[in-house]
Chains A and B, each alone.
Chain A
């Protein structure tokens, strides 16, 4: 699955909040076309690591390169290009509550200032169709949408600029099992169709099993295991890995995995 081309390169990354060390000397590479999942206990710094890849937090030490550009000191133009080439699905959706569904998705396209309004209209409706939201919801405000719908619209917005790199923060948190399954299915089909590279943070084993190619396990301030799920289970000796994959829920999810 993985070709040699790296999309994200993290080297020697250390994060501190005050006296509190979150990450110590982390190295991680994400390759083009793969789905990498970050897992770890609460407070292990998964979301922090994701936010560093997004350029929302600057690490104390180390470098993060995304799509070949240094995340923290690339020029303005480079930065803007980077933003159009990656999309983010936030945990709560982070839809703009003052804008309709349509305008939420159209916003990043209008920001480019080169697309004509007719084109934007077609593109937005296309993205809405891709994530399975009916046209009649286009004029609704985010507050009128259900949780599952918000996630779908947020995904459509993340995909608005046809990014090659997609970040998902807890894509299935807060969805019921059926919805979460269909959402995972949606991500999987979109990934095939759009040739996406995906980095996601998740707690949910089912999601993990369903879409990730490789898993990075964060614990004790560093990455304690990295690789496909079967390898991690076979070789992982860290107590967190045993708890996470070895618990009742873990065994259940993995049984399904083995049947695939």
Chain B
């Protein structure tokens, strides 16, 4: 290729008439992706118009530079075959020989998932698949626990402690902020209503019951599901992608015990503590707001709290924390272990994990509400 020529790199063409009286289309300039890039559709259109002339000679020998993008453009203008009269340089000849050999893209294999029925069926199957996976994972965990009972020295204490720190200690800040604000909001709304009825002192009952029994555990569990559940799924997923899980298996370190069980135990210890923390901060926020809003003294509120809220509610809240913690960790690990080694699967797995664990938390709450409806609630009269 003549590389020392200066430089009119723009693709040009001119129609000339040869001595023999044939019309000949001479292409000059560069027909490369860089030179064609902005004007490609226009150039292609112009050439295509000219190409419709019968018996046209194509002269490519004066092209300064031709690359495959230019060659393919011409090739398509010619209708994927050589025109009858074509003048080429040897290296261009080679390019068009290659183009002649190009195989067309095979049709993708038939995808049936457009059909709504099979879509529904697949979703159902996937659901059962997840359910089965979850059950077998919990079974494995139970076996691991039995094993640890007989071999207490094998308990992964360091991992449990690390999980306790990551999911518990590091979550204190965010749960405190959210709990405090929710407490304030709740207090403002209800104290105003109670004030109208002259029942100001019942704010303690409302705040105490709702926060200790319901809101504290739910807020903590949902925050932790979003925060720690996603982290667990992503961690296991990346370990799958980088083959770290396989490395553990090869070393004879069962990942159900080291990774999954330690997370489940860690979170089932950490979440009740977080629940306790969130509830107290939310109560504090609520009582502070009540003090400011209707002048209910905090000292009075704290002394009446034990009478207003039976202690069973606290145990119920902590119990929810334990169960939700186990469920969140189990779901997160289940989705984490199923991640396939590609980026899309990682994102999808993490999303599914968080959505499923938040749903599970709410389902667990509903079950608790129904099962323990007669406990810890004083029925009037």
Contact = CB atoms under 8 A, between A and B. Distances in A.
A, B assembled together: yes
Place the interface of chain A in its size category.
35 or more
By CB atoms of chain B within 10 A, which of A5, A143, A162, A193 has the most?
Answer: A162
B106 A162 contact: no
B20 interface: no
Contact of A161 (B40, B69, B73): B69
Interface residues of B, number: 33
A259 B23 CA distance: 54
B378 interface: no
B94 A122 contact: no
Contacts of B40: 114-115
A71 interface: no
B380 to A, nearest CB: 59
Contact of B342 (A121, A122, A136, A143): A143
B113 to A, nearest CB: 15
Interface string B86-118: 000000001000110111111011000000000
Interface in A194-250: 194-195
Interface stretch (A50-58, A124-132, A179-187): A124-132
B98 A5 contact: no
B339 to A, nearest CB: 12
A164 to B, nearest CB: 9
A16 interface: no
A231 B32 CA distance: 37
Interface in A147-171: 161-162
Residue in A114, A135, A161 whose Cβ sees the most chain B Cβ within 10 Å: A114
Contact of A32 (B3, B101, B103, B104): B3
A97 B344 contact: yes
A81 to B, nearest CB: 7
A5 B341 contact: no
A112 B98 contact: no
B101 A5 contact: no
Nearest to A130: B98
Given A32-B3, A136-B106, A162-B33, A119 B341 contact: no
A222 B112 CA distance: 59
Q: Which of B3, B72, B75 has the most CB of A within 10 A?
A: B72
Nearest to B104: A125
B123 interface: no
A254 B104 CA distance: 43
Interface residues of A, dominant DSSP: helix
Most chain A beta-carbon neighbours within 10 Å: one of B38, B69, B109: B69
A3 interface: yes
Interface in B11-39: 32-34, 36-38
A97 B102 contact: no
A161 B343 contact: no
A178 interface: no
Given A97-B343, A98-B344, A143-B340, A195 B1 contact: yes
A97 B33 contact: no
Contacts of A193: 94
A122 B101 contact: no
Contacts of B99: 122, 126
B277 interface: no
A119 B32 CA distance: 14
Contact of B105 (A84, A97, A124): A124
A119 B102 contact: no
A214 to B, nearest CB: 19
Nearest to A134: B103
Interface of B: 1, 3, 32-34, 36-38, 40-41, 67-69, 72-73, 75-76, 94, 98-99, 101-106, 108-109, 340-344
29 contacts: A3-B3, A96-B343, A97-B344, A98-B342, A102-B105, A112-B33, A114-B41, A115-B40, A121-B105, A122-B72, A122-B102, A123-B72, A124-B105, A125-B103, A126-B68, A126-B72, A127-B68, A129-B101, A129-B103, A135-B103, A138-B105, A139-B108, A139-B109, A143-B342, A161-B33, A162-B67, A162-B68, A162-B69, A193-B94
